[in-house]
Every structure is written in C-alpha cells, then in structure tokens.
Amino acid sequence: MLRHREIQILLIVMIAISLIAIITAAYINLVAAWFVFIVSVLLITCCFIFTLWRYKEIEKLSGYLRKIGGGDYTLDVRDNQEGELSILKSNIYKVTVMLSEQKSLLQKDKIHLTDAISDISHQLKTPVTSMMVMADLLSDEELPSGKRKEFTHNIHNQLERIEWLVSSLLKLSKIDAGTVVFKNERIPVNKLIHESLQAVLIPMDIKEQKISIEGDDTICFTGDLKWTSEALINILKNCVEHTQEGGLITIAFSENALFTEILISDNGSGISKEDIPYIFNRFYKGKNAGEDSVGIGLAMANSIINSQNGDIEIKSEQGEGTQFRIKFYK
C-alpha cells in the first residue's frame, strides 16, 4: 500500500503537520509536546489502519470485477451496510445483474438467429434445387419447345416466390430490430379496408368469392396506413386461400372508448385446435396450409399490429371458418 503515491503524500503531510504541532507545543511545555506527539502517532496509526482496510475492500471489488469480466455473474457483493463503499457495492451488483440479463438475451437472440437462418435456408433450398434441375434440362438442345416454355415459366414462378420471401423477411427483420418508424395518423378504417382489398380482388374474382363490409364510415384508428394495410393484406390472403369457391368473407369494424376493432371472418376450412396456439409463429405451417405456404404472412401481420399498440386474436373451427379479431387501443 505504501508504494501508492497518494498514500506517500498523505503520510508526508500528516507527519509534517505533527512535527509542526510538536515543535510548537515544546515552546509551551515539554509535557504538552509529549501529549501532542502521542496524539499525532495515534491519529496517524488510525488513519493508516482505516486506509489499509479501504484498500483491502477495493482490492476485493477489483477481484469481483475480474470475475465478472470472466463471465461469472453469480457472485453477490452486497453487504447491506451504510457508507460509500456499500453504495458502490450495491451499484456494482446492479450492473452485474443487468449484464447477466443482457447475456441471457443475447444468447436467446443468437439461438433465434440460428433458427431463423436455418428456416430461411430450408425455405430457399426447395425452389433453388428445383430451378437448378430445370436449368440443366433447359440446356438440352433436343428438349421440346413446349417443355422449354413450361420450365421457363416454372423458373419465373420460383424466382417470384424467392423475391417475395426475401422481401418479407427484410420487412420482418426491420420490425424486429425496431428500425421501422410507424406513423401515428388518424386513418378511416373504411379507407384501410378498401386499400387492403385491392391486393386480393383478383384471386377472389377467380374463386368467385363474395365480400361483405359492415361499419360506420366515421370510425378511425391511429396508426400507419401503409404498414397496417400490409398486415390486413396478409390476413385477407389467408382467408381467400382457405375459403372455397363461392365462399364469403366478412369484414366488420366498430369502436368504443378503449379501442377500434376490426373483425375479418370467412366460412372456409378453418384451422385445427392444435395449430391455433402457433399460427402466428414465424415459418409455422398448419395442417391445412397450402403447398406454397411459407408461414410468414400471419407472423408479419402480428408483428405489425403489435408494434402499433394493438393485438390480434383468432377463433376457428374446422369446417366452419376462421375469425381474426384486431384491436387498436386508444
């Protein structure tokens, strides 16, 4: 401890003050000089012992921090006492707990990223393999023109599927990372629904499905029109896909003092009870999912709605249809 410069300076100053006090006392009385000498020795000794104790406590904290740096977050340095050292210990413990929680979150994010990459790889592997096979067949000069057109058309479809998949994953990544800035605009629900329907009118017309819209034109919600429309499009696509030809899709909206509600229902094949708890999970495909289904649409819709102070619930019975209940809280 004596090798530290601040301790050397402290001892020199205290000894100098003591010598001055002893010399001054000696002019008064020899007994007074001895008294000042004894008191000075006791004060210097007490100060030295106290400083030694503080250095040992600081050394313990340094060792504690070294263990934290090594990844050991299980230690508890708190002593539940008063004083600046106790406050310092308490603050260090709080930082330790925070670092432990961050390490746990980073580990979960790493696992989530690994799973996501695995899922993406799996989703891309099938169309890429298919295109490689068809590309090899197209290199055959004796391939009939009909087959050549068919393979070219299939490759184009697979490329469109990959483009949609990559675009959707980029949107989901932006939402997860919190880089999407959602607008807070007052938007008529009727406008939102009609804009979302534009993306599914053609497949609905092909399947001769009907649409019913019920709600007051004055009802509004606060949110982002573009992103919310993206969410509703994915939900409507799911309804169109799982509703038979000539089926009915109903959209009803209302509001109260707490939230604005949108109900989207169909009378299609429905969702099994086993699939409902996982239907909004990314890359999850239910038993009734189509062959081209990837399992991103509903996950994206859920993320977009939750990011705008809303939530989404689903009710479904196999053979009786599905209902999506969306709430935007005020």
Q: What is the pLDDT of residues 115-128, one digit of tens each?
A: 667 766 766 777 78
Res 310: pLDDT? 92
Handedness of CA 101, 103, 107, 110 (dihedral sign): positive
The mean pLDDT of the chain is 82
Q: What is the pLDDT of residues 217-242, one digit of tens each?
A: 899 999 999 999 989 998 998 899 88
Q: By the 8 A CB rule, do 185 and 224 touch? A: yes
Classify residue 113 by burial, with Cβ atoms within 10 Å: 0-12, 13-18, 19+: exposed
Question: Model-level pTM?
Answer: 0.61
Q: What is the pLDDT of residues 246-272, one digit of tens each?
A: 999 999 999 999 999 999 999 888 888
Res 248: pLDDT? 92
Res 212: pLDDT? 92
Res 286: pLDDT? 67
Contacts (Cβ under 8 Å, ≥6 apart) of 75: 64, 67, 68, 96
In the chain, pLDDT over 70 holds for what percent of residues? 89
Please check the confidence at residue 10 and state whether its pLDDT lies above 80: no
Contacts (Cβ under 8 Å, ≥6 apart) of 281: 295, 299
Q: What is the pLDDT of residues 185-201, one digit of tens each?
A: 999 999 999 999 988 88
Q: By the 8 A CB rule, do 330 and 260 touch? A: yes
Q: By the 8 A CB rule, do 43 and 22 touch? A: no
Most confident range, picked from 72-81, 167-176, 252-261: 252-261
Please check the confidence at residue 326 and state whether its pLDDT lies above 80: yes
Please check the confidence at residue 45 and state whether its pLDDT lies above 90: no
Tokens of 150: 């068919």
Please check the confidence at residue 34 and state whether its pLDDT lies above 80: yes
Please check the confidence at residue 46 and state whether its pLDDT lies above 70: yes
- Greater confidence (305 vs 115) lies with 305
Rounded CA-CA distance 323/223 in Å is 22
Give 260's strand partners.
255, 328
User: What residue ranges define each of the domains in the chain, with the CATH number in brackets?
Assistant: 5-100 (no CATH), 117-177 (1.10.287.130), 185-329 (3.30.565.10)
